[in-house]
Amino acid sequence: GTPLPKSASLADALRQYSVNSGAGLNFLEPRGLVNTGNMCYMNSILQVLVFCVPFYNFLDQVRQRTVHSMKSDTPLIDAMIMFMREFKVLASAESADSLRSRLKQEKLEQYGDSITPEYVYEVIRKLPRFASMRRGHQQDAEEFLGFLLEGLHDECVQVMQGQAEEPQANGVSSPETVLSPGSADGWLEVGPKQKAAVTRTAGQQDAPSPITKIFGGHLRSELRVPGQKDSVTLEPYKPLQLDIGAQHVSNIVDALKGLTNTEALTGDFGGRGNTAKKQVFIDTLPPVLVLHLKRFEYNSSLNGTQKIWKKVGYPLELQVPKEVFSPARRASLQISGLPKYRLTSVVYHHGKSAAGGHYTVDVLRQDSREWIRMDDTIIRRIRAEDVAEGGSEEDPKILAKALEQHKADQDMQKQRNMYQGLDEAEKEPEEEKPWSEVNGNVGGYKKNWSGVAASVTNGTATPTSTTGKRTPTAKREGVRDNKVAYILLYERIRD
């Protein structure tokens, strides 16, 4: 788009933001982030976002266009712009190809000093939205990503509405959708074969913000009740939640197809007992598709959550399968082609619990060729194959044996729970709390599942027992070997 003058208001910059506005690419100098008191869940997400090209360009456009009008009523946006500016631009170009031609070999391994983004933590600490994430409490990276994107979205909407000259139109309407006569609470959609369905949009309908333009899509939930019009609800998503627990799900394409599984519902539909059918499809896809692999599920016998350890394959290039779209959408995609995405980052979770554990990330740099792996302050170059192998499959025999062991562990879990307090009291002081959490107990009788899973999910021999004391170094290595992909970011490939 045409650059706005520097005097342009922040509201103008936000309203006119376009993901594909022809912004160039900046090859950034990576920097490690110091993990001060269990902050790796935040740091992993901050790294992913700064290397997400559309998000970086959004912050950069806001910074350039509103240089004189930064105000404290957008503390999160301000903090993220400050964070973005910590990363030196090593080279710039209009395309990945020209960027690659400009890069000298020595630039590929030029890394900056590690930093602590204290000002980001401070803003987060003060905002009510993040109240559950007080400093020092290990938290979930996916939950933090959701809070952060919602917080940024809310700030954008507040600024746009505060200075809006006219109300924003509901962003759900499409050529095949018309407002139903006399119906204020829904749309009347005329689909194929002139079959009518009442369509509603779930959740608060804000004006589209740069955040929803980058990360936001809609799911289409269809409810079919015999003798009634189909009811269609459009539900916003960012990230897309993927169930991976089913035995047949071995990769993310399987998981995406699983979104559309028909669910039978019984209840009082339209004043009479009926069995309804619910089916969910993807209605729209965003430029940056965030996939959350749901690895933590509630287990009633354990009276708590348990981690799904299995590897779930993911490709470096993803073609979204046609089965995930509604039949009407499939017809239009036959002409335009199925959407294709490029993997740009992976967040890994190490350890056995969502409340504990450790996070590391792989990110694709702006030249779309170079990958780096970041573990707090440690940065190193890796190959694309190393990233893809993070989702590779296990040997079925080893997996079966591990699952058998897992079941045996579960059967004994309740008995062990009574010893938990005693074990905690006997534990040696640890220099880092998260590592003691992810490694479980150090009592000689304890053989925990995370150790068993480590040897399975990565195909490497890691200790399956936590007997005896360990040095911090050995303990860290064990945890780092024991990882599974948790969050995937894919960027849309434009033809």
DSSP symbols for 30-72: -EEE---SS-HHHHHHHHHHHT-HHHHHHHHHHHHHTTT---T
Residue 19 lies in a domain: yes
Residue 319 lies in a domain: no
Residue 477 lies in a domain: no
- Total structural domains within the chain: 1
Q: Which residue among the candidates 40, 52, 153, 350 is catalytic per the annotation?
A: 40
Residue 79 lies in a domain: yes
Residue 329 lies in a domain: no
Half-sphere exposure of 483 (CA within 13 A, CB side): 24
Residue 52 lies in a domain: yes
Residue 358 is a catalytic residue: yes
Q: pTM of this prediction?
A: 0.75
* DSSP SS3 for 165: coil
Residue 452 lies in a domain: no
Residue 101 lies in a domain: yes
Nearest to 256 by CA among 289, 297, 301: 289
Domain span at residue 94 reads 10-162
Strand-pairing partners, residue 374, are 361, 379
What are the φ and ψ backbone dihedral angles of 38, each rounded to 5 degrees?
Answer: 65, 35
CA distance 13 to 17: 6
Nearest to 368 by CA among 135, 52, 67: 52
Residue 52 is a catalytic residue: no
pLDDT in tens, the chain (495 residues): 455 555 457 888 898 888 987 678 999 999 999 988 778 889 999 999 999 999 999 999 888 876 544 556 889 999 999 999 999 999 999 999 999 999 988 899 899 999 999 999 999 888 887 776 654 454 789 989 999 999 999 999 998 888 544 444 443 333 333 333 333 345 455 454 545 667 676 655 667 899 999 999 999 999 998 888 889 999 999 899 999 999 999 999 999 999 999 999 887 776 666 789 999 999 999 999 999 999 988 777 777 778 898 999 999 999 999 999 998 899 889 888 999 999 999 999 998 776 678 899 999 999 999 999 999 999 999 999 999 887 654 444 544 544 454 455 445 544 544 444 444 443 333 333 333 233 333 333 333 333 333 322 332 222 333 333 222 333 343 444 578 999 999 999 986
Residue 83 and residue 63 in contact, taking contact as beta carbons nearer than 8 Å: no
